[in-house]
Amino acid sequence: MAGIVVLAALAFLAVWGGTPFSLAQDAAKSKGTLEKVFPSSNKCKRCHERVFEEWEASPLSRSIHSATFRASLEEYLAFSGGKEKALCFRCHAPHVSEYVDQAQMFVAQAQSGDPAIDGVGCAQCHLIKQVDRTAHPPVPKYEAGKTLFGPYKDFVQNLAHQSQELELFRKSDLCMNCHQSVPAAANLGKANELLGTWEKSQAAKSGKECQACHMPEQVGESANGENKRKVANHTFPGRVGTLRQEAAKLEVETAVKGDQTKVTVTVQSLVPHNLPTTHPAWARVVLDMAIKGKNLKTVFADRRVYGRVFADAKGQKTVFDFMAVKVLEDTVLKPEESRVETFLFPTPKDARSFDVEVSLSYAPVSGAPAFLQRIEAESSKGVQDPVFQPIAIVKRAVNVPLP
C-alpha cells in the first residue's frame, strides 16, 4: 500500500507538473493552460494502462489524427472562408469550447498530421460534469478542477486526482454531447436526425443506455494493481469492432417461377438508432445480392443503399453535411426497422441449383475525386487506408435447387 501511495504521488507530479489541478474557470481558458487542464492521455497511462490501451485502439483516439478528418477539415475551412474554425472540433476535440480563442491552434495541430494534443481523450470526457441538451448542438459543461468524474462509487483513493461518482456517466446524455449534433449549413430539422427516434426504441424503453453496447462492462482493473471489479470497456465498439456483427440480421426467401426468380431479403436493424448514423455524411450501408450459377459464376447482381443524399445551396449533391441545405433522398434504416427488398432476375439455366449470396456492409468513404485523392495523399497507407475498404456487418448464403 505504501508503494502504491508513493507511485500515485509521483504520478500526480508527472501528470500535473507539480501544479494544483483546481484552476478557476477564467484561468483555465487563458493561454498556456490547456495542457494542464486537459493533459495528454499518455500521462493517464501511467496509472490506467488497461483503459489507455483500449482507448488507444478505439476510433476516439484518432478523432483529429486521421487523414479523412484532415481532408474534411480542409474542405470545411475552404467552404467557410476560415470562419468559425472551432466547428469541427466541437465533437472531434470538444474541449475547444473552453479555448475558442485558440481555435487556430487546434486547426494547426490537426493539420500537422501528428497532433500533440488529444481530440477525444481521458480528460475530454472525465471532466464533463453536465451536458446541456437544451442547446443545439448539446453543450458539455466542463468543471476544471482536481476531480475526475465517472460512473463508479467504489473508486480507489489516490494522490493523483480525486474521483466522484456521477450518474451522467451511466446515461446516454453523456454521449449526446457529440453524437446528436450534425454541422449543417441550414437547419434541416428531423429530415437530418443523426440517431433518429432512438428514445422511442424498445431498447431505450427497456432502460438500455448507449454505454450498454458501446462501453460494455467487463471484469478487470481500472487502475494498475487495484482489485479486479466491473469496469467499462473503452474500445467503444461500433462500426469498428465485432459489435457491428450484432447490428442487423438478414432473412432470404426465394421463389422460382419458370424463367423468372424472385428473391426477397428482409433486412432487420437490431440497433436502437439509425443505421447508418449519417455523420460523416458519406456514411452508407449497402445491401449486396448476387446470384451464382454454374461453376459459381455470378449471373446476376444488384444492391440497395441505405443513407442520405444531400444537396448544397447550388443544388449540387454533396457528402459534406456542413454544406447541406436539403436532403434529396433518405433511405436510412430507422431504429429497429425491418426493410423488405425484392429482387427479380432470370432463372439460371444449365444448372441443378444456384446460390443466393447476400451481404450487408458499411460502404467505403465516398465523395468528389479531389476529396478522395486528398485522403489518399494524406494517409500513410495511401489507397490501402481502411476508409477505402468496405466493412462487413452480416452475410447470408442460400442454395436453391432447380426442378
pLDDT tens digits, residue range 315-373? 999 999 899 988 999 999 999 999 999 999 999 988 899 999 999 999 999 999 999 99
Per-residue DSSP letter, 132: E
Nearest to 90 by CA among 66, 73, 75: 73
Contact 251, 265 (CB under 8 A): yes
Query: What is the 3-state secondary structure of 62-119?
Result: HCCCCHHHHHHHHHHHHHHCCCCCCCCHHHHCHHHHHCHHHHHHHHHHHHCCCCCCCC
In the predicted model, is pLDDT for residue 376 greater than 80?
Answer: yes
In the predicted model, is pLDDT for residue 261 greater than 80?
Answer: yes
CATH top class, domain 242-401: mainly beta
Any idea where the domains of the chain sit in the sequence? 2-232, 242-401
Measured N-to-C along each axis, helices 369-378 and 67-80 cross at an angle, to the nearest 10 degrees, of: 130
Element spanning 26, H or E: helix 25-28
Question: How far is it, in rounded angstroms, from Cα 56 to Cα 235?
Answer: 8
Residue 104 burial (C-beta neighbours within 10 Å; 0-12, 13-18, 19+): exposed
Whether the model clears a pTM of 0.85, i.e. scores above it, the answer is yes
pLDDT tens for 18-59 read: 333 333 344 344 434 898 899 999 999 999 999 999 999 999
In the predicted model, is pLDDT for residue 226 greater than 90?
Answer: no
pLDDT (0 to 100) of residue 18: 37
